[in-house]
Amino acid sequence: MTDSLGTPRRLPWTGPDGKPAYLLTDGTGPLSRLVDAVDAQQLEMAGRLLDHAADILDDDSATSDQLRYLLTCMYDALTDVHRIAEHRHGAAR
What pLDDT, in 10s, does the model give residues 33-46? 999 999 999 999 99
In angstroms, the CA 36 to CA 33 distance is: 5
Share of the chain above pLDDT 70, in %: 90
pLDDT at 82: 92
Domain boundaries, the chain: 26-92
> Which pLDDT score is estimated for 86?
83
Element (DSSP H or E) covering residue 41: helix 30-58
pLDDT of 90 higher than 70: no
* Whole-number pLDDT of residue 3: 46
* Chain centroid to CA 7: 18
Q: Residue 41 and residue 27: Cα distance in Å, rounded?
A: 18
Label residue 70 by pLDDT band (50, 70, 90). Answer: very high
Taking each helix axis from N to C end, the angle separating 64-92 and 30-58, rounded to the nearest 10 degrees, works out to 140
Question: What is the pLDDT averaged over residues 17-31?
Answer: 87
